[in-house]
Structure 1
């Protein structure tokens, strides 16, 4: 990761710590205070019990959103700082992914149909008891698929 970008992310993470602490305190407080509307409904006639239960659930949900959201944002900073990469390497990764997709396309559109044609050809031409074990070509084809992909990977590099 470029030094200035990393430093900028570290500064943002440090400045976010205060918001994280406030958000967690607010979320926990809302969860603890969520019992108040329900208890008011049970002990007094101020609000109906079902309205108290509804308000309790709203407070619990709001509290949960507070500390979950802020925790996820803080964790995103941590992940970016831990796993961050140099922006110049993105182009290389995109090219490598495009190569892998081409190889997968070739395997899916050419290799497996050839295996199926070989299966039917040998099964119908030889026939008889050959059907009992001719399916083995699919097992062999699956085993060779990884080898073929690695060969294509070495040719592209």
Structure 2
């Protein structure tokens, strides 16, 4: 029934908080919950009961008109004061088309950023390889070229992220949009697992060429360059999959789209489910885990790369425990 409550909260965001509107909301919630329980008793599944209940009650526009309850937009137009600022504050709800566009743009930006990181690793591998062939100048040129391209990709990807986030920032997420994103997330899950498993596997196995080629003194540098190539590809998959997965979370964690966790908009501050403590932890948690992963792998402690991937399994469980302790949950 949390979905029903969330749906009603979204409908009433545009309605001023008065005794009349609060009473109307309470009555509607009670009626919808009663109807939901009736459907459950009839043998409907939870999803079917929620969908049927919402579709039967539908829009509340006619009911608001009968009870003479004004929306924020109507009240503002009547007062005729600063209409442009009110329009910006309220905004249009994020519909399915908006969400689809956001996910596609985020996917392109993720490819740019992950490719940039991969190019830097490839540049280092090329430098080592060329040095072993006594082509140091060529190696340096290739490394700086890869870094230059990577910086360009970082800037372009960052600008793309910033632009699409600002378009949706502090806007209400429509309920049908939530259902759409949930379906997209389920569809993407297999790709995300592939990126995670193959990316981690490449990082772990990257030490194998270095070990094998170390047995042959004249070509041991080949092993080091291949190691960087493999790590580069593995990191590309991990970053690409992680950024895309994070895009779904943007729509499923809160009722309001939040572009920047450190600068919440007016509506986000008012309706945010979780505390600033969670926002701070979420912002630094996974970057720290990624650093620990690489330090563990390169250090050789407790098996090095052979066991360092376990950090992600452990970190996921700890993160979910933190979310639960702070009262944060997906919609």
Higher relative contact order (CA 8 A, sep 6+): 1
Which structure has the highest helix share of the two? 1
Q: Could you tell me the TM-score, scaled by structure 1's length?
A: 0.49
Q: Could you tell me the TM-score, scaled by structure 2's length?
A: 0.24
